[in-house]
Amino acid sequence: MIGGLFIYNHKGEVLISRVYRDDIGRNAVDAFRVNVIHARQQVRSPVTNIARTSFFHVKRSNIWLAAVTKQNVNAAMVFEFLYKMCDVMTAYFGKISEENIKNNFVLIYELLDEILDFGYPQNSETGALKTFITQQGIKGQTKEEQSQITSQVTGQIGWRREGIKYRRNELFLDVLESVNLLMSPQGQVLSAHVSGRVVMKSYLSGMPECKFGMNDKIVIDKQGKGGASDEAGKSGKQSIAIDDCTFHQCVRLSKFDSERSISFIPPDGEYELMRYRTTKDIILPFRVIPLVREVGRTKLEVKVVIKSNFKPSLLAQKIEVRIPTPLNTSGVQVICMKGKAKYKASENAIVWKIKRMAGMKESQISAEIELLPTNDKKKWARPPISMNFEVPFAPSGLKVRYLKVFESKLNYSDHDVIKWVRYIGRSGIYETRC
């Protein structure tokens, strides 16, 4: 299991060091600094073995988190734990920075003591942790409160405490998708997929039992068989095929496996209910058509057309097209029909920004790039043209059908809950080769 956990700043100075196992010595702290943080070469692997000691590291801004072990640990678990550790710290004191870590080091030690015991991760749900690890110190808990804490930390529903009360029962569902695309210069889709998340903010009283439904093809088809055949045909069009999905630990997985129904008791506040991935029938919100022509050795002509491909009534926002330029670019002239375009020498790219664009529209940019003659034999790698945008629909076609709330002990029903649903589609890695 995890033998020790260290946090370093960008210089390699130790900010936090907690050793759990006897086989990890103080020299391990230095070994990582010397061999990884101060290494001349770029990091080639997130797992490093130095003198039979394995180091796992992740970086958050310029802070290094490293877990150390001498055993054959579960590597996936170690990384998941490091991410979780980051989440917990962020939930307690915001951004992970050198300053915040130094100011909160006592808290961090307290957390590390609680969520990692002898190198075994323990309950790390912030909801539960916040009930008994506070920076104010625990004062005057009654016996009932204490046992409530412990039963929550160890209990089946470790993510929610009992006795939550809201005057207004309200919940927010955000369907957040990122569309990933890799397109060939000829407009052929090399790969495309949507990775989506359903994020829920729940402000519900008691221990509500929730049921979430969406236009999952498997569910709809199953229902369609029972109902009228024409209805099945209709709904079949609207349903989507989900390649795979994963759920927050509150969701009863065995129930999903057998009935494909998503039922759970939600944590209080914001959390990620599910993640999913689709690859079929994706609505690609934009198409990029590049045209790059090399005119002699010292000039490039670039023309890029973007086309929006969704309902004209919808508006895409924060559109940004990034056209890479060679390293030996000396000057660029740009003309664009819409928005603003600028050559950014430091980023080796022309950045074209458009604030808003409606569906079924088209826009164009053309640029002349002058090059300095070089004798560098290495050809310019021609990185792909990438795009960023935000659209108010789910490119996968996912629709929330219902989210039912049942709380039998308290006197509010599903109808009394105010529910909000929002869809946001963003660009993931949306690239067109040129």
Partner 1 sequence: MCDFPFFSLVCTGEIFELKAELNSDKKEKKKEAVKKVIASMTVGKDVSALFPDVVNCMQTDNLELKKLVYLYLMNYAKSQPDMAIMAVNTFVKDCEDPNPLIRALAVRTMGCIRVDKITEYLCEPLRKCLKDEDPYVRKTAAVCVAKLHDINAQLVEDQGFLDTLKDLISDSNPMVVANAVAALSEIAESHPNSNLLDLNPQTINKLLTALNECTEWGQIFILDCLANYTPRDDRESQSICERVTPRLSHANSAVVLSAVKVLMKFMEMLPKDLDYYGTLLKKLAPPLVTLLSAEPELQYVALRNINLIVQRRPEILKHEMKVFFVKYNDPIYVKLEKLDIMIRLASQANIAQVLAELKEYATEVDVDFVRKAVRAIGRCAIKVEQSAERCVSTLLDLIQTKVNYVVQEAIVVIKDIFRKYPNKYESVIATLCENLDSLDEPEARAAMIWIVGEYAERIDNADELLESFLEGFHDESTQVQLQLLTAIVKLFLKKPTETQELVQQVLSLATQDSDNPDLRDRGYIYWRLLSTDPVAAKEVVLAEKPLISEETDLIEPTLLEELICHIGTLASVYHKPPSAFVEGSRGVQHKRLPGSAGSADSPDTGSAAGVSEAPPAVIPSQGDLLGDLLNLDLTPPTTSGPPPAPSSGMQMGAMDLLGGGLDSLVGLLHLGGDLGGSPAMGAGFGAPPTAMPASFPPPVSGGLDDLFDLGGSVGMPMGAYSPPKSIWLPAMKAKGLEISGTFARRAGVIQMEMTLTNKAMSIMTDFAIQFNRNSFGLAPAGPLQVLTPVGPNQSIEVALPLSTVGPVMKMEPLTNLQVAVKNNIDVFYFSSQYPISMLFVEDGKMERQVFLATWKDIPNDNEAQFQIKDCHLNSDAASSKLQGSNVFTIAKRTVEGQDMLYQSMKLTNGIWVLAELRVQAGNPNYTVSTVS
Class of residue 111 by CB neighbours under 10 A (exposed 0-12, middle 13-18, buried 19+): buried
CA 73 – CA 108 distance, rounded (Å): 23
Residue closer to partner 1, measured from CB, 26 or 234: 26
Residue closer to partner 1, measured from CB, 101 or 204: 101
CA 268 – CA 74 distance, rounded (Å): 30
Residue closer to partner 1, measured from CB, 338 or 384: 384
Residue closer to partner 1, measured from CB, 19 or 400: 19
With beta carbons less than 8 A apart as the criterion, state whether 3 and 24 touch: yes
211: phi > 0 → left, psi -120 to 50 → alpha, else beta; which? beta
Within residues 171-200, the interface with partner 1 by CB under 8 A covers 182, 184, 190-191, 193, 195
Least Å distance between CB 272 and partner 1? 7
Residue closer to partner 1, measured from CB, 4 or 285: 4
Residue closer to partner 1, measured from CB, 219 or 417: 219
Q: Which of 40, 61, 156, 313 binds partner 1 (CB under 8 A)?
A: 156
| Position 379 contacts partner 1 (CB under 8 A) | yes
303 is in an annotated binding site: no
Residue closer to partner 1, measured from CB, 277 or 361: 277
With beta carbons less than 8 A apart as the criterion, state whether 350 and 325 touch: yes
Within residues 51-110, the interface with partner 1 by CB under 8 A covers 52, 54, 56-58, 69-77, 79-83, 99, 102-103, 105-106, 109-110
> What does the DSSP assignment read for 318-333?
EEEEEEE--TTEEEEE
Within residues 253-292, the interface with partner 1 by CB under 8 A covers 253-254, 256-257, 272, 274-275, 277
Closest Cα to residue 406, out of 265, 224, 249?
265
Residues 6+ apart with CB under 8 A from 238: 215, 220, 397, 399
| Position 232 contacts partner 1 (CB under 8 A) | no
Least Å distance between CB 156 and partner 1? 5
Question: Which x/- pattern over 393-432 shows residues binding partner 1 (rule: CB under 8 A)?
Answer: ------------------------------------x-x-
Within residues 349-378, the interface with partner 1 by CB under 8 A covers 377-378
CA 217 – CA 205 distance, rounded (Å): 32
The C-alpha torsion from 240 through 245 and 250 to 251, rounded to 10°, is 50
- What distance lies between CA 177 and its chain's CA centroid? 10
**Residue 281 CA: distances (Å) to CA of 241, 308, 399:** 9, 17, 14
Amino acid at 350: I
Q: Which of 245, 283, 284, 400 binds partner 1 (CB under 8 A)?
A: 245
Q: Which of 246, 330, 333, 413 binds partner 1 (CB under 8 A)?
A: 246
Strand ranges in 309-374 using DSSP code E only, listed in sequence order: 315-324, 329-336, 340-344, 349-358, 362-371
Total residues at interface with partner 1 (CB under 8 A): 103
With beta carbons less than 8 A apart as the criterion, state whether 325 and 349 touch: yes
139 is in an annotated binding site: no
355 is in an annotated binding site: yes
Residue closer to partner 1, measured from CB, 71 or 333: 71
Q: Which of 11, 34, 94, 141 binds partner 1 (CB under 8 A)?
A: 141
3-state secondary structure of 367: strand
| Position 40 contacts partner 1 (CB under 8 A) | no
Least Å distance between CB 150 and partner 1? 4
Question: What residues form the annotated binding site?
Answer: 340, 342, 344, 353, 355
